[in-house]
A and B are shown apart, each in its own frame.
Chain A
Amino acid sequence: MEPASGVAELGRWLEAALKSRSGANAVFDILGVLQSDEEDDILSATHTCSRLFGALLERGELFVGHLPEEEAAMSGSGSALQKYKVWMRHRYNSCCSRLSELLGHRSFKVKELALCTLMKFVQLEGAHPLEKSKWEGNYLFPRGLLLSVVEGLIPTEVDSSLLISRFQEYLEHDDVRYHTMQAVVDLVARVTDTHQQQGVPPTFWNNTFTLISAVSLPRQQSDISNFYVKHKEMLKKWKVTQLKEHKHVFEKMWFSFLKHKLPVSLYKKVLVIMHDSILPHMSQPSLMIDFLTNAYDIGGAISLLALHGLFILIHQHNLEYPDFYQKLYSLLDPSVFHVKYRARFFHLADLFLSSSHLPAYLVAAFAKRLCRLSLTAPPEALLMVIPFICNLLRRHPACKALIHRPSAEASGLTADPYDMKEKDPAKSHALESCLWELKTLQRHYHPEVARAALAINQALSPHEVSIAQLLELSPYEMFEKDFKKEESGLVPLEFLQPQGLLGRRGDLSGEHFTLD
């Protein structure tokens, strides 16, 4: 069939099907085109279906109630109208199933159109329910249809983040969001059941994460007013109107997701959004305690990320975490200056250590350990960590002994009393040590770092230095800063004339490298 004539043909069929019930057989032709492999055909057929069933739904020409088997209905006794309605409903169902199949089509255009069409059906079906309401004020929503949509959105094989981002606009509606969350719970359970032996493919988890991380609940009850399916009046007793219920379902969805074994990268992603898009929307955030403490115990970057979630629980939900600071102390290793989440970690560490009720030995241990680690840190991290350490010393005057120990008794130490390997900050002898590392950093090659380290030569000023804008400092920004700094006067020049590329200063490069 030619596409151009196909469109005209489809139009004619549509007209016939909508004009009178006798032309209903044209629906078969339309559905036939929908089955085709050609992209254009599918697109036009989808459009036609959308208009056809949209009109039928509005007219109420589809069977309402529990659908009988097609053969039984056809052969059984009943009015011709009844039979027609049952028949048409079956066509509608097959159309919907085909469309949800198309959600897995290779072309994004088709996928998008199928999604939109299905969502349009959802809206119309919600307005003209195909189920009989069992009692007065019964809330009806096309859950089955939405479930098939969600199933199409999180396939197990291919990445569907594009389609999900398209779906996000529907997620802004409170009812769609509510039911999608329910559908996800069902779906995750079903998929894990079916893949019990060979294990669930990671793409499924990735897709699921993309979908559920896009869900964000309104902050207040009064914000729930945006419904996709418009009802005449929204009854208070309907669950969909209650934020509490939303939160409940949200929580259920996340737990159904997190209780399975996830890829490591996904854990990181979950932890990254934990503090600001998961915990505040849960009805009982303390349920996350186990997850977060386990993640915190893993070590490395995951621990760093779990910190924020844990902090919220400790701070707002009364979580008692023994050895929290010891754990935090053990997180400090040389990689902490090189990882991506450096800014986040130091922001939190600053928060944790901001309490003035911490014992001096603990703060001293932190300061000393950070100093020791700073011997391997890049300049951009040093610019941040030196004021950080100075702030610690300012908050805890007892720790000032680290930089100012006038009594002569300790002079002539042969080794640093601080024990780097000791896990317990209480036993690390940090208070007996001094911050010689900062003294070393006064000779750092970067002028800003050297200047920052020079601060300990004088008595520290009582005011803390804000490190907020230093947290995110990247080496590139540092370079740009040096680059743009206005030089005053002339550029100093080297006064010894070179004799060649590796020549005169020949001490090192000439010694170890040759030109050929």
Chain B
Amino acid sequence: MGKARGKALGSQAGGRKAKPPSNPNPFEVKINRQKFQILGRKTRHDVGLPGISRAKAIKKRTQTLLKEYKERDKSNVFTDKRFGEYNTKITPEEKMMKRFALERQRNNEKKSIYNLNEDEELTHYGQSLADIEKFNDIVDSDSDTEERGMLSAELTASHFGGGGGLLRKKTSEPGEEEEKPKSRKELIEELIAKSKQEKRERQTQRENALELTEKLDSDWKEIQFLLSRKTSKLEKKDKEEKPKPDAYDIVVRELGFEMKAQPSDRMKTEEELAKEEQARLKKLEADRLRRMLGKEEDENIKKPKHMSADDLNDGFVLDKDDRRLLSYKDGKINQEIDDPNEEEQAQEGSEEDWKEREGDKESDTEDSEESDAPDSHSDLESHVDSEEEDIIHENQQKKQLQAPEKKSSDANQKAMIEAARSELPYTFAAPDSYEELKALLSGKSTEQQLVVIERIQKCNHPSLAVGNKAKLEKLFGFLLEYIGDLAAKAPPDLKTIDKLVVQLYSLCQMFPEFASSSVKFVLRDVVHEMEEMIEIKGRAAFPGLDVLIYLKITGILFPTSDFWHPVVTPALVCMSQILTKCPVTSLQDVVKGLFVCCLFLEYVSLSQRFVPELINFLAGVLHIATPNKGTSGYTLVHPFKPLGRNSELLFVSDKEDMDTWPKKGLPLSKVNGLKDSSKTETNHIRLSCVSVCLNLIKRCLAMYSTLPSLPEIMKPIKVLLTEHIPECGHPRELQELCQSILQEMENQGKNYQPLVCEKSKPVPLKLFTPKLVKVLEFGRKQGSSKEEQERKRLIHKHKREFKGAVREIRKDNQFLARMQLTEIMERDSERKRKVKQLFSSLATQEGEWKALKRKKFKK
């Protein structure tokens, strides 16, 4: 009880504090002095009004506690009979409604003579106030305007004339209507009856008006459609009435609306095209360089894509300008067949049609392939990224430019192709398996095979049908396999491969993902095979020609200068393994090894990267070209051994063969079988190997001239060239080559700059700034979880409340004790007073009695 009271007190006190009295008595104000000023702390109890608040508390207690105390033994109770006062289930609104209803009921029960209207509707001029508020009575407003400013005499008389008017009436015509003048009561009743009648009349009038409007509405509806027809005619009449436009106007309008030729870019000149081509190549080269330096990854991370402020972020990208440039070629419009249907029709057209077209093509300056090229381009759009699409497009343009020059030289070949073309059917289904492709191509000449593949490609262009993309992707895989087979044949069909590479390239441009993964898997097979062989035998044999061809094709299809490339990097590792893990046991192995070296050099020719395996292998090849004397001054690495069976593999002792040696390239086709050649021929190949080796060394020397430790790298080769090779008595050409290499080695500047690390950023000094912790709320314990904080808060609150309650109870008791004491004191003083009174009255009695007695005695 006390607690609840205390709370109420507190809240009251708080409420008062928010609005302190304007000028409190300074003697009543108590200021709690603060020892320290703390920033940000709310001071709640700095100023207090103890006297006032004590008075308030006492007053409150006298009102509540004292009352209770006084009524402590009383059994009477105060009952509150207000409806639903203590019923919490009823909302205040409902409560009010109900109470209102009850009140009305109570009111209705008692009849009053002044209660004129039985209905509870409030009226003004006999109209309900609610209606007036709606302002929907138009008639009334009209009548208002008519009699504006005029009040009825009766009304004025009744309202403003007051009793006087009535009295006047009464006085003016007293005997006219009734002998007896009307009493006030009668007058009023009359007035009321009048007003009631007026009201009734007005109501009927209004009802009539409403009825009439409704009728009018329905009538209007009936005739409305007639009206509308009429109006259209009316309008027509209006138009005819307008002046007729004359011919000039018509012509002007027509000209205004006529389709105009859209302004287009002007035709490009040859120089501009060349310049564009150059710019494109420059961009591609810059791209390549960027990849070579391996910057791509960093840049991708660093630079978020530019986003326009107007970007809706809906992923829509206008990837290319769809408009096509109008360009002329040899006086004809360079038209591109755009409609796939049209193309399809062309494909499926009759044979004569085809022949005709081909005839046309031959007469054209264009190569037969070129006319097909644009359509392949146009169809790529949906499949290939716009950039690559551009590349292809530009490539074709380039080809078109080159075509006239090429034409004369290729005339022969073209004739053959044409011949092959005419012999073969025009449509081919895409092969579903490798066997099918093999069956299609077997027994055909190189040209025919080319045509077949070209036609497969055309008939199954991705734009023609849904599944064609997958079909062509498969074709790429099959072609790759077919090339491997061709290379593995007894006399390898390298001519066909040579031609197929172009097809492979174009397919690769169409499906880069698939092409890269299939080449990767081919390489993986190669490496896997080698790994298995190494595990079983401890060493691996040189792989066949097919592997070499695959590696070469990898270099053709993909850019080899990239810092990291998903296909080329594994290919490099594969080549490195070939050069380090496969011991050289025969002349074929040497040729293969040299071919791999050559590939390595080609791969790194642009990026100029360092390949240790290459130098090792070339040094090894030089070693096996010298007579066997062990290694002095140089060391050989793994696949080569200083002594042994194959350590004189390339050594030629026959003087005659040396003199007859013709300088020519090494035949790749002999790689598969070299056994059946004569001794002289073998010796010639040996010499060719040495020659190739020396050439490659020269190349390396030029390429690695900037490497800081070039002399160390080239040291074994230098020793071999200066000390061992001259003893072999090689032909003059080779000796000259040796000399030139040595000369170049001498010329290489030997400059050793000491290494210096890049300056690293200085480590910043340790700063002793205080650790800043974000304080969310003062007075709250920091650094614990939310639950813990809440718990602490509650404990704290409970403690405070408990203390407050104890204090209140104590004060209540003190108050009560004080009250009891005053009561007792009052009672006592009363009693004292009464006793005093009694004594005094007794004393006076006694006194009087004594006085009487004395009087008697006196008497």
Contact = CB atoms under 8 A, between A and B. Distances in A.
Interface string A424-455: 00000000001111011101111100100000
A273 B751 CA distance: 49
B182 interface: no
A392 B139 CA distance: 111
A72 interface: no
B613 interface: yes
A502 interface: yes
B735 interface: no
Contact of A479 (B557, B573, B600, B664): B573
Interface stretch (B456-464, B499-507, B799-807): B499-507
A405 B756 contact: yes
A193 interface: no
B501 A498 contact: yes
Interface stretch (A173-181, A255-263, A371-379): A371-379
A420 B664 CA distance: 40
Contact of B581 (A475, A494, A498): A475
Interface residues of A, number: 76
Given A335-B638, A375-B713, A405-B755, A497 B502 contact: yes
A375 B712 contact: yes
Given A404-B757, A509-B598, A501 B552 contact: yes
Nearest to B600: A445
B294 A447 contact: yes
B695 interface: yes
A323 interface: no
Contact of A447 (B494, B569, B574): B569
Nearest to B757: A404
Nearest to A442: B610
Given A376-B612, A412-B751, A446-B573, A508 B699 contact: yes
A500 B502 CA distance: 7
A445 B516 contact: no
A483 interface: yes
A456 B556 contact: no
- Of A475, A493, A503, which is in contact with the most chain B CB atoms at under 10 Å from its CB? A493
Contacts of A439: 708-709, 755
Given A456-B757, A491-B513, A493-B558, A334 B570 contact: no
Contacts of B502: 497-500
Interface in B558-584: 558-560, 562-567, 569-570, 572-574, 576-577, 580-581
Nearest to B753: A411
B585 interface: no
Interface in A481-506: 482-483, 485, 487-488, 490-495, 497-503, 505
A513 B665 contact: yes
Given A372-B712, A494-B557, A378 B613 contact: yes
Best-surrounded residue of A337, A406, A482 (most CB of chain B within 10 A):
A482
A512 B697 CA distance: 13
Contacts of B636: 334
B653 interface: no
Contacts of A475: 573, 576-577, 580-581
B494 A501 contact: yes
Interface string B519-540: 0100110011001000000000
Nearest to B483: A501
Interface in A372-399: 372, 374-379, 382
Contacts of A514: 664-668
B612 A377 contact: yes
Nearest to A372: B712
A434 B760 contact: no
A505 to B, nearest CB: 6
B609 interface: yes
A493 B509 contact: yes
A405 B754 contact: yes
A240 B832 CA distance: 123
Contacts of B755: 402-405, 434-436, 439, 456
B283 to A, nearest CB: 10
A379 B615 CA distance: 14
Contacts of B615: 375-376
Contact of A414 (B291, B528, B567, B752): B752
A331 to B, nearest CB: 14
Given A416-B752, A482-B569, A498-B501, A457 B613 contact: no
B367 interface: no
B542 interface: no
A440 B703 CA distance: 13
B569 A508 contact: no
A8 interface: no
A288 B381 CA distance: 77
Interface in B587-603: 594-595, 598-603
10 contacts: A372-B712, A404-B755, A406-B754, A412-B751, A440-B713, A457-B758, A491-B566, A500-B502, A511-B695, A514-B664
Given A406-B754, A512-B666, 13 more contacts: A338-B638, A403-B755, A411-B754, A416-B712, A440-B709, A475-B581, A479-B524, A491-B513, A492-B288, A495-B559, A507-B602, A513-B668, A515-B498
Question: What 7 pairs across the A-B complex have the smallest Cβ distances?
Answer: A338-B638, A405-B754, A413-B752, A445-B609, A436-B708, A515-B494, A487-B566
Interface of A: 333-335, 337-338, 372, 374-379, 382, 402-407, 410-416, 434-437, 439-441, 443-447, 450, 456-459, 474-476, 478-479, 482-483, 485, 487-488, 490-495, 497-503, 505, 507-509, 511-516
